[in-house]
Structure 1
Amino acid sequence: MTVRDAVLASITRTLGTAADGIAALAAELARQAELSKSFIEAVDLLASRGGRVVVAGVGKSGHIGRKIAATLASTGTSAYFVHPTEASHGDLGMITAQDLLVLLSWSGETLELGNMLTYSKRFNVPVISITSSMESTIARNSTIAIVLPKVQEACPHGLAPTTSALLQLAVGDALAIALLERRGFSPADFKTFHPGGKLGSQLMLAQELAHSGDAMPLLSSGAPMSEAVIQMSSKGFGVVGILGADGKLAGIITDGDLRRHMSSDLLALTVDLVMSHSPRVIPRNLLASAAMELMQSQKITVLFVVGDLGEPTGILHVHDLLRAGVA
């Protein structure tokens, strides 16, 4: 076996072991009533607390704990990570009686978590633990213990936390998503917590990226086509919207409409005779990512944005979406 083959075999084996671990957890959840009960009770407790969720762990469990805290925080549950050692040197003061502790320890015997358990007992702070042993010190002293099945580590020596860390992460994600769905956490809520980066761009609203006011190419019904051509050229969108007497968008004229009506008397016609009726529009509160999907599926480059009464509030070009990183 070549070095390359050995590396590929190792990677394949690790991925398979990880997949087996997740499958074992899912099977145990379906088979064991006590495990499913602990998951449900954990979500109930997380949803009912008025304070914050304080996550703690040591070593690889600590790294997983940081990610769990970040996921909870980004999905609407106020959460942060406290290192158990720092907690023993003053950071216990960050935890209030209204908070909730989530403690991660695969063995359930992590000594550094002892002071946090003592503190929780003294101030009646509920504890959710994620371990692999119901008989462990941490599980026995928890309000709710989520006990995971013992799984094979991907490490050939069975020492480096690999599959076990993945299971802890999966449990954290499962709790966070269950809370998200229970609370009806919406894309608009996501936007509040994710204003930056790729996700922030996709969560922007159509109106935020649209051109409004005088930048919109608009004419009233009955206007001559000579004005429409000027609007199409000067505003740079290649279209012009036609307003009805009620202020709503009654039609739209595109380059295609011009070609279909090309004649010597085109400029003398009124816009009503050339425009396409019932134009495709999008609501102002539509996500930018949804607007991009619509443009791609319909093979169009420009959309008018309308308000609650159907009045045009902006115009959006596909280039606006691309510049904002929505793709």
Structure 2
Amino acid sequence: MIIEQAKKVLAIEAKAIESLIPRINGQFTAAIDMILSCTGRVVVTGMGKSGHIGKKIAATLASTGTPAFFLHPAEGIHGDLGMVTADDVVLALSNSGETAEVVSIFPAIKRIGASIVVMSGCAESTMAKNADIFLDVAVEQEACPLGLAPTASTTASLAMGDALAVALLSERKFTPEDFAVFHPGGALGRRLLLTVENIMHSGEENPLVTLDKTVKEALFVITAKGLGVTNVVDEQGHLVGIITDGDIRRGLEQGHEFLDKKVDRLMTKTPRTITANKLAAQALRIMEKNHPRPITVLPVVDEQNKAIGIIHLTDLLRQGVV
């Protein structure tokens, strides 16, 4: 019984969302055009459960390039309407379209001069008739067996809000880098904003040996820098290869005389590299996709292929990029 009831809820809500597809029409396009031409912000308002959905829609809009905030209608009639300007678009949510607290702020919004988009389940409601644009989010039935708790109707409103936000994102040519600007504190922001330059080992931390050095000398550098690798450069500082501690361990199987050989006998020539201005996430992709096996270190070079640093997988782990 419990499982069947839960499945029924999901089926009803899925049907509610699917029924919105034919309603993506001229009114929806007009709402997008209105918001795109808006020089102010989108002010989302709603009461009760619609208010909770409105807060989510406002947050989604704001994080995807459309300045927006939520206005509680009951607070609005007690002074918060001062946050609304003539340059704004008000997005008002109400399943019935008759929510008293929302209806009561419409006259003031109109006096202010802001445009109004109503998202409601009733085209003949007071709110719909007083809107510049009406978005129909009517549902056939609520998922609540009593037909009382807003369930399918709030799901439909949330989905329509997502449709608005994503359509606006697309029209604004919003990029992952733009998204990251608004999410600097999370893992997503770190992946999208953190560059190789921010975390690479450079200067004194950059392990370097020249072609005239021996494997033993390279081993000393690898040990001193603690990264398990050293860049190998020519006299001008151009990267010509790398040597890892694993290379040296495998070489020692030939005997200790191996340590006196020049590094060019052991180094991996033309290794995979990255430049300092690339995203740290790109460095991770290069490491993961390297064939025949993933790598844990990546030399950092400049435009002249000079070895300016090195980045290690553990650096990406510490920064939360992985």
TM-score by length of 2: 0.89
Structure 1 residue 321 and structure 2 residue 313: aligned?
Answer: no
Distance 1:120 1:246, change over 3 A: farther
| Residues matched between the structures, number | 316
Query: Superposition pairs for residues 72-83 of structure 1, below 5 Å?
Result: 72-83=61-72
What SS does the corresponding residue of 2:90 show, helix, strand or coil?
strand
Letter in 2 for 1:267: L
Q: 2:208 aligns with which of 202, 214, 218?
A: 218
Structure 1 residue aligned with 2:114: 125
Higher mean displacement: 241-250 or 60-69? 241-250
Structure 1 CA distance, aligned partners of 2:304 and 2:159? 45
Gapped runs of 5+ residues in structure 1?
1-5, 30-34
Q: 2:222 aligns with which of 195, 213, 232?
A: 232
Structure 1 residue 21 and structure 2 residue 13: aligned?
Answer: no
Q: 1:304 aligns with which of 299, 303, 312?
A: 299
Shift of 1:310: 4.0
Distance 1:139 1:320, change over 3 A: same
Shift of 1:109: 1.4
Structure 2 CA distance, aligned partners of 1:296 and 1:80? 40
Letter in 2 for 1:270: K
Structure 1 residue aligned with 2:260: 268
What SS does the corresponding residue of 1:195 show, helix, strand or coil?
coil
Query: Superposition pairs for residues 1-327 of structure 1, below 5 Å?
Result: 6-26=1-21, 28-29=22-23, 35-203=24-192, 204-244=194-234, 247-259=237-249, 261-262=251-252, 263=254, 264-298=256-290, 299-327=294-322
Higher mean displacement: 278-287 or 140-149? 278-287
Structure 2 residue aligned with 1:3: none
What SS does the corresponding residue of 1:304 show, helix, strand or coil?
strand
What SS does the corresponding residue of 1:97 show, helix, strand or coil?
coil
Shift of 1:60: 0.6
Shift of 1:290: 4.1
What SS does the corresponding residue of 2:213 show, helix, strand or coil?
coil
Higher mean displacement: 305-314 or 103-112? 305-314
Higher mean displacement: 125-134 or 251-260? 251-260
What SS does the corresponding residue of 2:10 show, helix, strand or coil?
helix
RMSD of aligned Cα (Å): 2.2
> Once the two structures are aligned, what percentage of the paired residues are identical?
46
Structure 2 CA distance, aligned partners of 1:43 and 1:281? 44
Letter in 1 for 2:72: H
